[in-house]
Amino acid sequence: MRTALLQSSGHPGSTVENLKVLDEAAGRAAAAGAGLLVTPEMFLTGYAIGDDIARLAEPADGAYADAVAETAARHGLAIAYGYPERAGDTVYNSAQLIAADGTRLAGYRKTHLFGCFERDHFTPGDRQVVQAEVDGVRVGILICYDVEFPENVRAHALAGTELLIVPTAQMHPFQFVAESMIPVRAFENQMYVAYVNRVGQEGEFEFVGLSTLAGPDGIARTRAGRAEDLVLADVDPALVAASREANPYLTDRRPGLYGSLV
């Protein structure tokens, strides 16, 4: 499955403009043969928008989801996007996966909130593993800081995730996560990891780009620079199966020794 990574901060504060950016990127991704397009964290509204987060937050089945579903169906590819999700009086930092026919496949709420900014605006989710099938690939979802906890990624590996998508708002000076940690996460858990970042200055934050899709061999299949970009790479579930056979991290585990860690 060809996977497209949209590295962009869009237009913070303007959902209408961000939906236009998404539509244009979906057209380019589909023309390049992609079956899945992944956006950064909080793409539909912007990340550093303060109290506008609560104002722009919508339910998982709201107008944003309908607009993304229409875009996905028109271009014929699945779309995973970051947005602020409202559930009653509660707001989550969420990502939703929409199928190529516009069906809502999965929704994930960020479980590990980073810093005072996020803790002031969001409630953490409580589901560690969320998955769906896209073109025969088992796709799992985490968001940004979540992937920095090895327990989260290992839980996905044990649940059979083949491609872990990670909408991200990774900022300076933590670019080593994109450069070094993501390929290691992919290798130690024998899966593909698509880490899709914002880029440029936004409020007090400088997002570093460097979006990457790493394979189960720890090698980056594609990597963006530090400018707006759309990069693509192929995900092969057969390689995941072969790699897990050759690199038995998951079968050689000894969980009985690890209980004290959790």
What is the set of active-site residues?
A: 41, 110, 144
Q: Name which of 202, 161, 197, 199 is nearest 182 in CA terms.
A: 197
Of 141, 225, 142, 145, the residue nearest 179 (C-alpha)? 225
| CA-derived radius of gyration, the chain | 17
139, β-bridge pairs = 132, 163
What letter represents residue 94's amino acid? S
Sign of torsion, CA 13 97 142 135?
Answer: negative
For residues 24-49, b (16+ Cβ closer than 10 Å) or e, as one string?
ebbeebbeeebbbbbbbbbbbbbbbb
Angstrom distance (rounded) from CA 96 to CA 38:
10
Spatial contact of 105 and 99, defined as CB atoms under 8 Å apart: yes
> Could you tell me if 103 and 115 are in contact, meaning their C-beta atoms sit under 8 angstroms apart?
no
